[in-house]
Amino acid sequence: MVTSEFTNWQQRYSTPEFIFGTAPNEFLVRCKGLLPHTGKALAVADGEGRNGVFLAQQGLHVTATEFSPAALAKARMLAAENNVSVDFIETDVHTWDYPKDTFDVVLEIFTQFSTPDERAVKWAGMRSVLKPGGLLIIRGYTPKQLQYGTGGPKIIENLYTPAMLESAFGDFGDLHITEEELEMSEGARHTGMSAVIGLTGRKPA
């Protein structure tokens, strides 16, 4: 991760308020019925911890990666306030040593700071770390989000399309990819009408 990107996120997270709110992402909540009752989950680039905390509240043993110390401090506070345990790891998602076939669930929610080359590395790691049959959940913005400007990156190459997700995960079982336009209210950074895409699927054996 370039130094300027790290600095930008540090500045964003170095505020008293949770910039994306403390409630879990709405798509993740809708996926609750797909989650196992026990097992290990990985929340990729989990920011201030709202989604990792939600997974822990469902009874999962959660590992959450994040490269911003400011975000991690708030994530640890949120976990403590909710009386759950999350294994927070300060790391860059593009260079982390993803432990193969370790997690029953892998979650990526709005982590669209990756360049196309970095995204390929990240998604390869996410695929590797899932156990066969494990559940993958992805939520991101589509290129149409540039018209709304209510959150997400301003670089079209970082936004997700169905074709992009199908190319990376088309061999997954029970694969569902859905584009939506909906009103979001997830902290100051994700508020207003938004163009989003969601994926759920299970890693092939």
pLDDT score at 1: 45
Name the residue with higher pLDDT: 12 or 35.
35
pLDDT band at 3; cut points 50, 70, 90: low
pLDDT score at 6: 87
pLDDT value at 75 more than 60:
yes
The rounded distance, in Å, linking the Cα atoms of 53 and 58 is 9
* Residue 26 buriedness (CB in 10 A; 0-12 / 13-18 / 19+): middle
pLDDT score at 188: 83
pLDDT in tens, 76-85: 999 999 999 9
Instruction: List Cα–Cα distances, 191 to 19, 74, 85, 148, 195, in angstroms.
Output: 11, 20, 29, 10, 12
Range of the domain at 105: 3-202
pLDDT score at 187: 87
Name the residue with higher pLDDT: 3 or 57.
57
Compute the average pLDDT of residues 139-163. Answer: 96
pLDDT in tens, 178-192: 999 999 999 888 899
CATH number at residue 15: 3.40.50.150
Domain count of the fold of the chain? 1
Show the tokens assigned to 48: 């201030």
Compute the average pLDDT of residues 43-70. Answer: 97
